[in-house]
Structure 1
């Protein structure tokens, strides 16, 4: 059993063949899939999709949040609506939320305020968070110490240092590894994946983005998650079944609603 802890299965890139993609993912061993939102305009459709998942596909779990890259589309009213939806609907986490200091033109102060408000919603609802962090790990870690996320969460597509990784672990987070791990050139990422304790890791695709090496230049898909698993197992000199069992258990421990 595999869990894709981060897959944007609701976006338009999957509109033409979503049911087929999900069926192939299930056939490949993906039993559950966490679908994080990026803006309020997609929340209702995401909830509807997860509530009517095809029977031959993985179980779908929605996370609701306001992604920092789409900062200009977010409004204060979205936060009030998020709080209401979280109270009324079955949501696995608050996400995708975070800080992005890589994309030009994103006001860092506005990002921080938005993140702080969403962390408060997560605390009040006792939900974990799915973090997007680019070129901002030190800032994120400092913020999490000031405004903790007691239910923990996942640092999605982790690409920080080993020291930063251990700081996230101390704060109750797991670290997401996906398609970039399958590229031989990802030496830093591969070193991290072998040096960190296996209990720290969860698997993800971030589909339709960040695809695996065998499908470079193509749309990513949750059906490719076994390639991430196989790469991680090979790097750690472990059986894929052992890595699958442990990463699935890790996901279930931090995303309690999966159980």
Structure 2
């Protein structure tokens, strides 16, 4: 069983497409963690679970997120954080959250506003994690673009890793020093195929202890519809195969870079954090 720790399931448009996709990935022995971009979208997705339920087909693990790209204003953020606070005890998977300090993003959500939102999110998670079993940690999926150091500093300040919380940086693009700081803190990374396209990215996955590695696709890249010229089953199968191929290719490349035992390490970590067992 391969686990995609970062999949945007709500980008699949319509209940029937989502049901068909879940059948297709189950046939390929793939599980997904369904990241969301706002607390409101998380609530909507979870409400659809009854419509998606099928015998012998696992539902995704629902992840409660507030993406920095979706912070529109202080007032909007306050409203979404109220939704987050109400939902945080309904799942132990949190994401996509984080910071994005690219100039274009800072024009929409200034640095201080992003930091305020992430601080509040982490405070709510730490409070919720205090009452959970050590065998069932809260798991964060963190977006950090030009901001990895700031995210690590906030994790340290709030003592997140001393709580029952595991931070996972998705598609890590920080500096080597920032990655070292994350590892020392106890964090992990989820490996995206694009990390292998640069010498720095390949070095990073070798720098991280194998038991701190997970797989991710960050798919789909945008909304997926069933168009007039395609069958529902074809669209679902294509999306599922793209996902399975991305995960398998990533694991193959990790094995070539890190050795034959890395697949077992990734499987063990997936089981420990997400209770996903290999077949």
1:84 partnered with 2:86: yes
Q: Give the structure 2 partner of residue 109 of structure 1.
A: 112
Alpha-carbon RMSD across the aligned residues, in angstroms, is 2.6
SS state of the match for residue 3, structure 2? strand
1:236 partnered with 2:250: no
SS state of the match for residue 153, structure 1? strand
CA shift at 1:63, angstroms? Answer: 1.1
Deviates more, 1:218-227 or 1:33-42: 218-227
- CA distance in structure 1 between the aligned counterparts of 2:198 and 2:244, rounded to whole angstroms: 21
SS state of the match for residue 60, structure 2? strand
- CA distance in structure 2 between the aligned counterparts of 1:53 and 1:244, rounded to whole angstroms: 30
Q: Give the structure 1 partner of residue 264 of structure 2.
A: 245
SS state of the match for residue 72, structure 1? coil
Deviations along 1:190-236, one digit per CA (max 9) or x if unpaired, are 121223221121111111139xxxxxxx9794323112111211222
Cα–Cα, structure 1 residues 54 and 171, in superposed 2: closer, same or farther, change >3 Å?
Answer: farther
1:124 partnered with 2:143: no
Deviations along 1:89-133, one digit per CA (max 9) or x if unpaired, are 2x1322211100125113110000000000011001113322110
- CA distance in structure 1 between the aligned counterparts of 2:272 and 2:2, rounded to whole angstroms: 14
Cα–Cα, structure 1 residues 25 and 244, in superposed 2: closer, same or farther, change >3 Å?
Answer: farther
Q: Give the structure 1 partner of residue 217 of structure 2.
A: 205
Q: Give the structure 2 partner of residue 11 of structure 1.
A: 11
Q: Give the structure 1 partner of residue 133 of structure 2.
A: none
What are the ranges of 5 or more consecutive residues in structure 2 without an aligned counterpart? 130-137, 223-237
Of 175, 179, 194, the residue aligned with 2:206 is: 194
- CA distance in structure 2 between the aligned counterparts of 1:103 and 1:17, rounded to whole angstroms: 36
Q: Given the two structures, how large is their TM-score scaled by the length of structure 1?
A: 0.82
Contact 2:213–2:266 (8 Å) recurs in 1: yes
- CA distance in structure 1 between the aligned counterparts of 2:176 and 2:55, rounded to whole angstroms: 40
- CA distance in structure 2 between the aligned counterparts of 1:229 and 1:180, rounded to whole angstroms: 13
Greater Cα radius of gyration, structure 1 or 2: 2
SS state of the match for residue 34, structure 2? strand
Cα–Cα, structure 1 residues 223 and 53, in superposed 2: closer, same or farther, change >3 Å?
Answer: farther
| Count of residues paired in the alignment | 243
1:220-235 alignment runs, 5 A limit? 221-224=242-245, 225-235=247-257
Cα–Cα, structure 1 residues 26 and 67, in superposed 2: closer, same or farther, change >3 Å?
Answer: same
- CA distance in structure 1 between the aligned counterparts of 2:203 and 2:121, rounded to whole angstroms: 32
Deviates more, 1:97-106 or 1:39-48: 39-48
Q: Give the structure 1 partner of residue 227 of structure 2.
A: none
